[in-house]
Amino acid sequence: MKERKRAASGSHKTNVIPVHWDATFFFERAVRSLDRYHYDKALKYFRRAVEYEPDNPVNHCNMAGILSEMGNYEESNRVLKRVVDELDPEMTECHFYMANNFANMEQYESAEDALIRYLELDAEGQFLEEAEEMMELLHYELERPMKLASVKAREGYFEHDQARAMLEEGKFVEAVRLLESIVEKNGEFLAARNNLALAYYYMGIFDKAMAAIQEVLAIEPGNLHALCNLAIFYQHESNEEALRPLVVQLCKMVPFHQEHVFKMATTMGILGEHGEAYRHFARLMREGALRADACLYHYTAVAAWNMGRMDEAERHWIQAGKLDPKSNVPDYYLELVERVRGGGEMATASYHYHLPFEEQFKLWEKSSEALPDHLKRDPLVRSSFFWALRHGDRSTKLQVIQALGMIADNEVKDALKSFIQEAQEDDYLKRIAIFVLRSMGVHESLNAILEGQETIIEHSRMPSRLPVWEEKWQDVLEAALSRMNKQYDLVQQHDLLTLWIEFLSRVYPDVPKLGKVEAWAAALEYLTAKMHRRTISYHEVSQRYGTSIATVSKCAKRIDEICGIKEKMKMVFPALSETSNES
C-alpha cells in the first residue's frame, strides 16, 4: 500500500507556482489593498517594497501618499523630504505633496514655502491647477498674496504679467528689461514680443519697435496683435503706401476672442477708421462681457462722436458717468456736447479714457506747482514725456526734463541717465539733466558724453574743471539753492550753479575769501533772477538771506565784473535767452 501511494505521489504533476518576492510583488499587493481601502495593509506592503528597492524614489512616494491618507502628515513629509534631498531632486511633485501635508496641518507658512518651491522648480506643471487652488486658500488664510517670483511650468508667463502691469503704469524702461529677458529665454513667446514692441514704441525707439513686430510676423504671419501694432507704426511713420493695404486686410478679419475684438476696435479707432471701431465696440456691448466697464462706454461714445452721431455719443457718456461717478472724463465730454449744440466747433474726441492733455495741465496749473499724482502715474503722460525727450525740439526737451524731475522715480532716473549718454544731444540739456538727477538724490558717479568726450561725473552737483572744490564754495551753493527751491524752476537753479562755477573758474586761484556765505548766495540769486527777466530787488534778497543790501550789491557787482552778465543779456546767449522766454 505504501509503495502504491509513493508511486502515485511520484507520478502526480504539481500545480503550485513558486512565489518570487520582490518590490513589484509588494507594490501590486499594496495597490489591491488600496482598492479595498485597507490602508494599514497597503502601508505594510509599500514599506516592504521600499525594503526591496530602497533607492527607488517611487516606492518612497507611494509610502508617503499612504501616510498622508492615514493622517500621518509629519511622517509623510519626512519621507518626501528624503526623496528630494537624497534620492531624486528631479521629483519636484514631492514639494506639492509636502505643501498639501503642511496645509492639512494648518502650517500655512510652511505650505506656502513648499508650494513656491514646487511652482518654481516643476517644468511640466502636472499639478498646476491644483496649485493655483491652493494659492487661493493660502491667500485667504495668510491674508496676503503669495510671495511667488516665477512659475517654471509657465516660463515667462508670470514675468510677462509683471511686464504688462509695468506698461500700464508707464514704467517702460523696467518693462523693456523684463520683456527682453523673457524673449531671450523663450523666443516663441509672441505676446512678450508684441508687448516689447509696444514698450519700445512708447519710449520712442521706433526702429527697435518695428524690428520686434517683424520678428513676430516672421514666426506667425497672421498674428492679430502684431498686425494691429504694425498698422499703428506705419501710421506713425506716415507710410500710407504700406498702411492702406494692411487696413483693408484688418477690416476683412473677424476676431473671435473678446481680447482680439477689443484690440481690433482700439486699433481702428487710433487709425481713424471710426466706423470699423464702432462696429467692434458695439459687438462687445452686445455680448455683455464688459458692459459694466465705463471705459467701453467711453470708447463707443468716441467712435459714435467721430462718426457724427452726437446723440448716441451723449447717451454712452451719460452711462459712463453713472458707472464711474468719480471720473471727470464723461462730464468733460458731455459739456463738449452742449458746447457743440450751442454752436461751438466739433473737434475730434480722443479714445483715451482721460482728459485731453491741455485740460489736464490746466488743472495742474490751477492746483499747485507740483505735478499731480494721477499725471505722474498716467502711462500716456509718461509715454509722451519719453517721446518728447527723444524726438522733441530743444525747448520741448528742456520742459520735459523739468517735468521728469517732478516725477522723480526710478523710471525717470534711468531715462535721464540714458539721455546724458546720447552723443547727438545738446550739452546744455545734458547738464540740466545731470543737475535734475542730482536734485533727485542720485549721488553715484554718472557716465555722460559732454563736448564729444565720454566723461565720468563724480559725486558733485555738476562737473567742474576746477582742480579743487572748496567746502565754502559748496556752502554758497547750498544756501542759494535751498532758498530758491520753491520759487525757481530747475533750469533757473541750474543756471545759478553754472554762473557760480563760471565765476570761480575765472578768478581761480584768486578766489575771494567768501566770509559772508549768505551774501554771495543772495548775489547769485539776484543775478540769476535778472538773467531770467524776473522782478527782484536787492532789498528783497537781502531780507531773505539775512544780510545787508550793500554787501549783496558788492558781491553781485564783483560777479558781474568777472562774468559780464549785463553784456550777455544783451546778446543771444543759448543757455539763457531760450529759458528767459519761458520764465
Largest CA distance in the chain: 149
Helix (H, G, I), strand (E, B) or coil at 131: helix
Give which of 413, 402, 406 is closest to 492, Cα–Cα: 402
Give which of 268, 187, 180, 184 is closest to 224, Cα–Cα: 268
To the nearest 10°, the Cα dihedral for 363, 364, 369, 370? 140
CA 547 from centroid of its chain's CA atoms:
49
pLDDT given at position 520 = 92
Q: How far apart are CA 538 and CA 530, in angstroms?
A: 11
Task: Determine contact, residues 217/227, Cβ cutoff 8 Å.
Answer: yes
Measure Cα distances from 217 to 105, 150, 211, 220 in Å: 51, 28, 10, 5
> Average model confidence (pLDDT) for the chain?
79
Q: Among 238-247, 271-280, 365-374, which is the least confidently predicted range?
A: 365-374
Half-sphere exposure of 351 (CA within 13 A, CB side): 20
Measure Cα distances from 250 to 220, 254, 300, 463 in Å: 15, 8, 19, 54
pLDDT given at position 383 = 65
Overall average pLDDT of the 475-484 stretch:
85
| Other beta carbons within 10 Å of 124 | 10
Alpha helices for 442-548 (secondary structure H): 471-484, 490-507, 517-531, 538-545
Q: Among 132-141, 329-338, 382-391, which is the least confidently predicted range?
A: 382-391
Residue 154 — pLDDT band, cuts 50, 70, 90? low
| Other beta carbons within 10 Å of 312 | 16
Q: How far apart are CA 156 and CA 190, in angstroms?
A: 11
Given the C-alpha cell 509657465, which residue does it identify?
154
Q: How far apart are CA 376 and CA 96, in angstroms?
A: 42
Quickly count helices (H) and strands (E) in the chain. 32, 2
Handedness of CA 44, 49, 51, 52 (dihedral sign): positive
CATH (residue range 23-154): 1.25.40.10
Q: Residue 324 pLDDT more than 50?
A: yes
Question: Angle, nearest 10°, between helix axes 57-69 and 39-52?
Answer: 160
- DSSP symbols for 235-270: HHTT-HHHHHHHHHHHHH----SHHHHHHHHHHHHH
Overall average pLDDT of the 418-440 stretch:
81
Which 8-state DSSP code applies to residue 152? G
Overall average pLDDT of the 398-412 stretch:
75
Q: How far apart are CA 211 and CA 225, in angstroms?
A: 15
Task: Determine contact, residues 463/449, Cβ cutoff 8 Å.
Answer: no
Give residue 512's identity as a one-letter amino acid code: P
% pLDDT > 70, the chain: 79
Helix (H, G, I), strand (E, B) or coil at 455: strand
Task: Determine contact, residues 263/271, Cβ cutoff 8 Å.
Answer: no
pLDDT given at position 28 = 66
Q: How far apart are CA 275 and CA 267, in angstroms?
A: 12
Overall average pLDDT of the 525-547 stretch:
88
% pLDDT > 90, the chain: 16
Long-range CB contacts (< 8 A, 24+ apart) of 392-397? 394/426, 394/429, 394/578, 395/578, 395/582, 397/425, 397/426, 397/429
Give which of 276, 314, 323 is closest to 295, Cα–Cα: 323
What are the residue ranges spanned by the domains of the chain?
23-154, 374-442, 471-580
Domain 374-442 CATH class label:
mainly alpha
C-alpha cell belonging to residue 467:
582742480
Q: Among 428-432, 459-463, 511-515, which is the least confidently predicted range?
A: 459-463
| Other beta carbons within 10 Å of 4 | 8
Question: Angle, nearest 10°, between helix axes 394-407 and 490-507?
Answer: 100
CATH topology of domain 471-580: Cyclin A; domain 1 (1.10.472)
The answer, as to whether pTM is greater than 0.85, is no
